[in-house]
Structure 1
Amino acid sequence: MSISNNIFHAKVLLFGEYSILLDSNGLTIPYSHFNGSLSFIKKDSYTNLNFAHNSNEHLKSYAKYLDENATDIIDTRTFIKDVENGLYFESSIPEGYGLGSSGALVAAIYKEYGINPIKSKAGLTNDETQELKKHFSKLESFFHGKSSGIDPLICYLNHPLFIEDQQNIQSIGISRKNIESDDAVFIVNTNQVGKTAPLVDLFMQKCLNPSFSKLLKEELIPTTNKCIQSLLSGDLNHFFKNVKQLSKFQLNYLKEMIPSEFIQIWEKGLKQNDYLLKLCGSGGGGYLLGFTRNYTQVKKKLSAKGLEVIPVYREF
């Protein structure tokens, strides 16, 4: 009974939440502040045993799903045997916070139990990336009802990904041109768990409204794409202008996804122009994603309100 000691990081979808469902660009990065790995429950283990036992019970349900739906992707016989012997996912990635907790788990299981797995390496072809995404979509659907497969993909490859559309995804570097020491991407803890499936359902219902659908095509998708392109090109002046437009759009048209007690904080950032907030994942709780050119001052200001502020990317 042994297992590889592979660690899988959380992820942050910088841009593309919701709009990626309509084929906007997307940009996602690994986030090593939180991570997880497969392990076995041992009597002398220095871990939270309640967490480990709960994780193991969860894996039993997942193993049944995989045995019924994914025997072409996963060696379910070995996986089920290991689950019966106390396999669990030791993870610091908070669930329901938009940081890819299920994606990291799926990536870990595919790495350990995948049948002829595509190796995680630099220079994967688009065909290989699409094949991985297809596998991960199937494996992660247990957790969300429907999955694009992108969260497990970023957790598995552990490299920033530029999503041109659902059929074209590539590893990419993020420009450090024009970066200053106090530029930062950060997350703010809402101390609430968000639930992805009902919020995605709500968004898709809103899309049935022709006027809302028009707004998405004419404002949300172009603005999202501009955010990504200006960041990748290192044009930070235009980048922050574009992020401000995106923040305004989400506040105006996706307000149901923003916890009510954070509306005022969101508005204050837009008004004072020292930080900008947007959704991190589907919203409804979890973390909010922030952008600033004055991180030291903004962290002090938000922390004074009792908020937990954690840097994601500094000198990006």
Structure 2
Amino acid sequence: MGSSDFSSSPAKLLLFGEYVILAGSEALAIPLSGFQTSWRPGPDFDAQYDLPQFASFLENLNLPFEFDHEGLRQALHAGWFMDSNIPQGYGLGSSGAVVATLLKQFAAGIDTTDIAALQKTLAMIESYFHGTSSGLDPLVCFLEQPIWVRGKEKIEIPKSPSKALLKKFFLLDSGKPRRTAPLVSKFNQNLKDPGFKKIIEEDLVSAQNLAILSFFKEDFESLHHDIGEISAIQRAYFKDMILPEHLDLWDKGLETGDFYLKLCGAGGGGFVLGFTNGEKPKVPENLIDLI
């Protein structure tokens, strides 16, 4: 523990499970190393934002491991700060990366054998930023490994995907941050419609779960088909979550089958996730490879 080393954490990317995890679907999140949050010496007090308040919050928690509160206080007093290129409001776990990085820097004796218990602790810590937290974001950022949510209270660490598989994916940058809460509220309201609920629970949940299995098998053809199903369902039933400027490209993918777009997290801004078995689309927006 201490400030002698520069701890860092990757972003988190939810590949599958957006929204439908609320309806019982599985979910798969992976670390995204192209975006990082790092603990840096300053002095740069302006870049600390509310880290001093967060430090006070941590002091009042009953943590199941050692935490060097005094070391954190001294580092903040000396101007240490979080240096991050993880965009906020993009669903990439920016606050989860802050939590993970501070724990790597100042905590000791963390039990990583009980993943469910660790997730609950991380959820408690990250609640400072959002009021509530599932703990998934800081868990991925801290372990720097994929996390497979297989149901309530059931999570696993699967093998890391190959580079060949990750090269099939890309991110489309909308350039616009989003607010997740209103979008989730809209989804929950839509679930009260029996027709919508049936589509979600029977069709979309099935497509998401099949896509996760195809992903693990690295069955590119099946994965291409499964993501196409997800893309079509989201295009038809998640219009509020898709930016108008992305509709033509979304439709082009569905018409040609050359690539498919799907929501990346809540949608409504941030990134859109793409998958292709061939060439990536040529668009004016910034396309980002996962590796």
**Do the structures match in fold with TM over 0.5?**
yes
Q: Contact between 1:258 and 1:279, CA under 8 Å: does it hold in 2?
A: yes
Deviation, structure 1 residue 194: 1.3
CA 1:200/1:141 → structure 2, altered by over 3 Å: closer, same or farther?
farther
Q: Contact between 1:93 and 1:101, CA under 8 Å: does it hold in 2?
A: yes
Tell me how far apart the structure 2 counterparts of residues 111 and 183 of structure 1 sit (CA, whole Å). 29
2:49: which partner in 1?
A: 57
Deviation, structure 1 residue 242: 0.9
2:98: which partner in 1?
A: 105
Structure 2 residue 232 is matched with structure 1 residue 248: yes
Tell me how far apart the structure 2 counterparts of residues 175 and 159 of structure 1 sit (CA, whole Å). 10
3-state SS in 2 of match to 1:38:
strand
1:134: which partner in 2?
A: 120
Q: Contact between 1:144 and 1:197, CA under 8 Å: does it hold in 2?
A: no
1:19: which partner in 2?
A: 20
Tell me how far apart the structure 2 counterparts of residues 72 and 152 of structure 1 sit (CA, whole Å). 15
Superposed, 1:1-316 pairs within 5 Å as 2-42=3-43, 52-68=44-60, 70-72=61-63, 74-114=67-107, 116-119=109-112, 124=113, 128-173=114-159, 184-295=168-279, 298-299=280-281, 301-302=282-283, 306-313=284-291
3-state SS in 2 of match to 1:202:
helix
- Amino acid paired to 1:161: I
- Amino acid paired to 2:84: S
How many residues end up aligned between the 2 structures?
288
Tell me how far apart the structure 1 counterparts of residues 48 and 202 of structure 2 sit (CA, whole Å). 46
1:49: which partner in 2?
A: none
Deviation, structure 1 residue 244: 0.6
- Amino acid paired to 1:136: L
Q: Contact between 2:167 and 2:289, CA under 8 Å: does it hold in 1?
A: no
CA 1:186/1:76 → structure 2, altered by over 3 Å: closer, same or farther?
same
3-state SS in 2 of match to 1:281:
coil
Tell me how far apart the structure 1 counterparts of residues 188 and 251 of structure 2 sit (CA, whole Å). 25
- Amino acid paired to 1:21: L
- Amino acid paired to 2:116: Q
CA 1:281/1:55 → structure 2, altered by over 3 Å: closer, same or farther?
farther
Tell me how far apart the structure 2 counterparts of residues 76 and 210 of structure 1 sit (CA, whole Å). 50
Q: Contact between 1:10 and 1:30, CA under 8 Å: does it hold in 2?
A: yes
Structure 2: give runs of 5+ residues left out of the alignment. Answer: none
Q: Contact between 1:13 and 1:28, CA under 8 Å: does it hold in 2?
A: yes
1:46: which partner in 2?
A: none
Q: CA RMSD in A?
A: 2.4
Q: Contact between 1:3 and 1:38, CA under 8 Å: does it hold in 2?
A: no
Tell me how far apart the structure 2 counterparts of residues 113 and 85 of structure 1 sit (CA, whole Å). 15
Deviates more, 1:197-206 or 1:157-166: 197-206
